Structures are given as structure tokens and as C-alpha cells.
Amino acid sequence: MSDEPGPFRFERVAIVGIGLIGSSMALALRDNGFTGPIAIADRNGEALRIAAELELGTSYHVSAAKAVMGADLVILAVPVGAMRATGRSIAPCLAEGAIVTDTGSVKEAVLEALNETLPETARIVAAHPIAGSEHSGPRAGFATLFHRRWSIITPADDTDEEAIEIVAHMWRTFGSEIELMTPQRHDRVLAITSHLPHLIAYNIVRTAYDMETVAESEVIKFSAGGFRDFTRIAASDPTMWRDVFLNNKEAVLETLGRFSEDLAILQRAIRWGEGDALFDVFERTRAIRMSIIDAGQDTAAPDFGRPRDPSNAPPEDEDERPINAVRR
């Protein structure tokens, strides 16, 4: 995968924010042979304590400013809404020429925040790994999270070329593919591939929760009919997602407008009993799933290859059959 294996091109790392992404990066650095110091900062004392317990880094700091001192690579893995305050707090302590990269899900707003708060000498490389899971916090991280996933880098016209290459090389070493695009384009693409899906998932779970005609216990019992697929991403970190919507407002509202328009047309087709119109839409959407599977971005196994026994409890009886056993 990595077309340029070899040692990382930095010596001292600081990771600010030790959630799912920060902790996965710490693990991926070690797993891929990085031996230098990793200073970890988090405002949350409990997260910091867990990070220390898991030995994710070499030093642990409540103060981001202290963590970044002497680092030649600073990774900001905090919620998008915290980027400005973080930039302001680390600015005075940044080493000259340090590369500052981030992992935020919105790029235009983050670049603006960092450009406005960091010193001129900082080499800012905005990036976004398209990987994650619904689990949050330092215990959720794993070293292969970025494996066979895309990482998008969004350089500005004046971004230092060498700094881009150093960051890209790190992602490639983690097993990711690199795509370069403008921050504006990133925010538009992610609005449809990530932000809208999360908004819709949160919304349908909330609708189910609030229906007074159907008991919550019924929703839970019969969720295997489709609903449970939505609950996964609706269990993602609320702070992170609040910040995404507040910071990619324009593209999200535009995309949401399209979605609502399309939904109104389906609604009308149902009301008027237009079977052919419904069939046409349902038929076309299959093709996209096939393409996603072909592109290696999802599994073809039924139900995502979910274990048949979701609780991971031991089998109840001895003739328990293997997962999703297909008898032919």
C-alpha cells in the first residue's frame, strides 16, 4: 500500500486531543516504527489519564501550549469548533517552522481559524482522514483505523510543499491513500458523503424516539428491519458533530435542500401510488452500492458482515452455527 515506506520525516510529535482519531494516530505512529517523543495534550483529565494508562505517548499535558514545545509535527485532533482556541493557545510556544496539521471534518473554517491564530512561521497543512467509528475517546483508537482509507489534504496556494509531502508520507505510511483538493471542494464533497448522512441518521433516531404512537421498546426490538443501520452513526461524538454542522453550514444546508426536495418527490409518488417512479429510484441506487464495494470502501458480505450474535456472548448451545453460515 505504502508506496514510500521508510522512516517518518519528523522527530518530535505533539498530539492535541486524544479521542478516537488522536489515539489511533499515536498507535499508528508507534506501530509503523516512530520512536521519538509523542507529547499528548487534552483538556479532559480523564482522557489524559486513560491515554497515560494505555501508554499512547511519552508525556501528558492539560496544556496544549506545553505539549507543542519543541515539536516539529503538531497534530490537532480536537473538535472543529475548538481549533481557533487551540491555535491561539499554542501559538506562542510553537517551534519555528513546525508543521501544524489537523484532522478536522471541515476544512475551510479550520484553515481560517489556524491562519488567523498561528504565527507566520508555522507550516499549516490541513488534512482529513476519511475514517472513524461510532466509538469515541482514547480507548476507541486502533492502529489500523486508516488502513485502506482515503486521507484528504487541502493545501492553500502558499502551503509549503515540503510540509505537504511530510504529512502525506505519514498518512501513506499509515496505509492511507492521499487525495488533494481545495478546502471548498472538500467541504462540499463531505457535506454529501458524511455530514448529511450523519444529520439524517441523528434525525431519524430522534423521530423514532419521539413517536408517541410506537413504544421505544418496539423500536429497539424490531430495529433489525433497517433502523439499526442508522443508529450506528447516530451514536457518534455529539460535540464533534455539533461543530461540523456549525462550521460547514452553507454546504450542509445546500445538500439538505436537495435531499428534502428529492424526498418530497418520493412522498408524492407514494401518495399518488406511482409504483414505476418508486421502482426507478430504488433500482438506480443499487448500482452505487456495487461501486462502493468494488472500490474497496465497504464489504459485500450481507449485513456488513455483522456477527450473527451481536452481543458477542458465548453460544447458547453446542450446535451453534458459524457466523452467517450459508448452506447450499
Contact (Cβ atoms closer than 8 angstroms) between residue 89 and residue 57: no
The correct pick among 139, 160, 165, 182 for binding its own copies (CB under 8 A) is 139
Of 163, 99, 174, nearest to 129 (Cα)?
Answer: 174
Of 71, 125, 63, nearest to 100 (Cα)?
Answer: 125
Q: Does 180 bind its own copies (CB under 8 A)?
A: no
- The DSSP annotation for 191-218 comes to IIIIIHHHHHHHHHHHHHHH-TTS-HHH
Site for its own copies, residues 251 to 310, rule: CB under 8 A: 252-253, 255-256, 258-260, 262-263, 266-267, 270-271, 273, 275, 278-279, 281-286, 288-293, 295-310
Residue 12: CB minimum distance to its own copies, A: 22
Residue 160: CB minimum distance to its own copies, A: 25
Query: In 76-127, where does DSSP find H-type helix?
Result: 83-90, 108-117
Of 21, 64, 20, nearest to 40 (Cα)?
Answer: 64
Closer residue to its own copies, CB minimum distance, 53 or 162? 53
The correct pick among 35, 97, 148, 180 for binding its own copies (CB under 8 A) is 148
Site for its own copies, residues 100 to 129, rule: CB under 8 A: 105
Size of the site for its own copies (CB under 8 A): 132
Q: Does 147 bind its own copies (CB under 8 A)?
A: yes
Neighbours of 317 (CB within 10 A): 5
Site for its own copies, residues 195 to 254, rule: CB under 8 A: 195-211, 213-214, 216, 218-236, 238-239, 241-243, 245-246, 249, 252-253
> Could you give the CA distance from residue 211 to residue 71 in angstroms, rounded to a whole number?
52
Closer residue to its own copies, CB minimum distance, 158 or 316? 316
Q: Does 328 bind its own copies (CB under 8 A)?
A: yes
The residues pairing with 161 across neighbouring beta strands, listed in sequence order, are none
Site for its own copies, residues 36 to 95, rule: CB under 8 A: 54, 81
